[in-house]
Amino acid sequence: MIDTKNLTQLGAHVETPQSPETAVLETVPFTRGDGPPAIVRFTCPEFTSLCPVTGQPDFAHIVIDYAPDALLVESKSLKLFMTSFRNHGAFHEDCTVMIGRRIVEATKPLWLRIGGYWFPRGGIPIDVFWQTGAPPEGAWLPDTGVAPYRGRG
């Protein structure tokens, strides 16, 4: 059984962090085993943040794929982290890359990629992609499943 005594958010009532900077990404141990690395995917189809200039909400479909090494990001802490962007003013590019970097900082994965598929602002959808390097040898990387902009749905 996985030791979860260090987790402070899972199974507890936790308020949404005030900002992404104060959100805590918790981890749990992972045993890779033999063979090609596993790819873990998180999909957040209703991500929101605020425009740093107008304060208006921005919406995105975020897809995170990573190949864990010794740690997994605990999903409730990730959900709270993602929710903390709802009151955070930043450009699409900054939000997307910040999410990827924070997960890398917390889990030190073999590899990570993130795609931020942002709904139009001023009539232009903005898609932002970031990854840590080449995907691991032998890993199966499915398509993100997000179509090029045609109403995103």
Residue 127 is among the residues annotated as catalytic for this protein: no
Whether residue 92 is annotated as binding a ligand: the answer is yes
Percentage of the chain exceeding pLDDT 90: 75
| pLDDT tens digit sequence for 81-93 | 999 999 999 999 9
Task: Check 3, 34, 58, 94 and give the catalytic one.
Answer: 58
Burial class, 3, CB count within 10 angstroms (exposed 0-12 / middle 13-18 / buried 19+): exposed
Query: Annotation-wise, does 14 bind a ligand?
Result: no
Whether residue 51 lies in the annotated active site: yes
pTM of this prediction?
0.90
Check the annotation: does 93 bind a ligand: yes
- Give Cα separations from 77 to 80, 114, 120, 130 (angstroms): 5, 18, 28, 21
Task: State how far the Cα of 7 lies from the Cα of 106, in Å rounded to an integer.
Answer: 14
* Residue type (1 letter), 73: V
- For the residues 29-46, what does the mean pLDDT come to? 94
Tens of pLDDT, residues 57-112: 999 999 999 999 999 999 999 999 999 999 999 999 999 999 999 999 999 999 99
Average pLDDT over residues 33-43: 95
127: pLDDT strictly greater than 60: yes
Q: How many CB atoms lie within 10 A of CB 67?
A: 20
- The reported pLDDT for the residue numbered 146 is 84
In this prediction, residue 14 has a pLDDT band, given cuts at 50, 70 and 90, of confident
Helices (H), 19-150: 75-83, 92-107
The single residue of 3, 34, 44, 51 carrying the catalytic annotation is: 51
Assess contact for 48 and 93: CB atoms under 8 A. Answer: no
Higher-confidence residue of 12 and 34: namely: 34
Distance CA 20, CA 85 (A): 6
Of residues 146 and 137, the one with the higher pLDDT is 137
Tokens of 145: 């499943």
